[in-house]
Amino acid sequence: MVRMLLVGHCFGIRSERRLCEEVHLNLAYRWFCRLGLEDAVPDHSSFSTNRHGRFRDSDVFRQLFETVVERCITEGLVGGEGFAIDASIIRADANRRRGVPSTEPVGATPTYLSMTDPAARWTAAPGCPAFYAYSTNSLVDVESGVIVDVEATAAQPVARSATLEAFALPAPTR
C-alpha cells in the first residue's frame, strides 16, 4: 500500500478510488506495487481505512524518508557543507465558511480555527485572500538539492529562530 501511495503522489492521483483503478489497469504501476496480473488490487475502501488508521498512527513514512536520506549520504549525494531552509504554504482541504474565531492572538490579524481541520491555520499573503493552510519547512543540501529533513507546522507567521529550532540548527551569526 505504501507503494500505491507513492504512485498516487508522483502522478498526482488524489482520489483513492481513482488510484486503485489506475493500479488495476496500468502494468507499470502493478509492477512497481509488486502485483502480478492475477493479484487483486486493494479495494479503495480498505485502502482508505488503512491509510487513515494504520499509516497515520505509525511513522512508516518518516522511516522511509530517513532511509532514502541515509542512502543519499552513503552514496555521496549529500555533502553536508551548506544547507538552506525552504518554507512553503500548502492549502488545507478545509471549508473557509466553517471556521470559528480563534482565542490564539497572532499579531493584529484576526484568526479562525477550522471545524473540519483544526490543525490548519488561517493565513494570507499580503494582497491575497486568506485561507486555511499548513507550512512545510524543508532543510535542503545546497550542493545537491536533496531534501534532508522536513517538518510540517501550522501556517502562521513564524520567527526565523522557530524554524531553525524545528531542525535543531544554531542561529546564524552576523
Residue extents of the structural domains in the chain: 2-58, 80-166
> Residue 73 burial by CB count (10 A; 0-12/13-18/19+): exposed, middle or buried?
middle
> Which set of grid coordinates corresponds to residue 147?
531534501
pLDDT the model gives residue 173: 53
d(CA 64, CA 3) in angstroms, rounded, equals: 11
Please check the confidence at residue 146 and state whether its pLDDT lies above 70: yes
**pLDDT, averaged across the chain:** 79
pTM value surpassing 0.75: no
Q: How confident is the model at residue 18 (pLDDT cuts 50, 70, 90)?
A: very high
pLDDT the model gives residue 128: 78
HSE, side-chain direction, 13 A CA sphere, residue 45 = 0
Q: What is the percentage of the chain residues whose pLDDT exceeds 90?
A: 14
Q: How confident is the model at residue 174 (pLDDT cuts 50, 70, 90)?
A: very low
Average pLDDT value for residue range 135-145: 88
Please check the confidence at residue 102 and state whether its pLDDT lies above 70: no
Tens of pLDDT, residue by residue over 36-82, are 889 999 888 887 787 777 777 778 888 888 999 999 989 988 887 88
Place of cell 496500468: 26
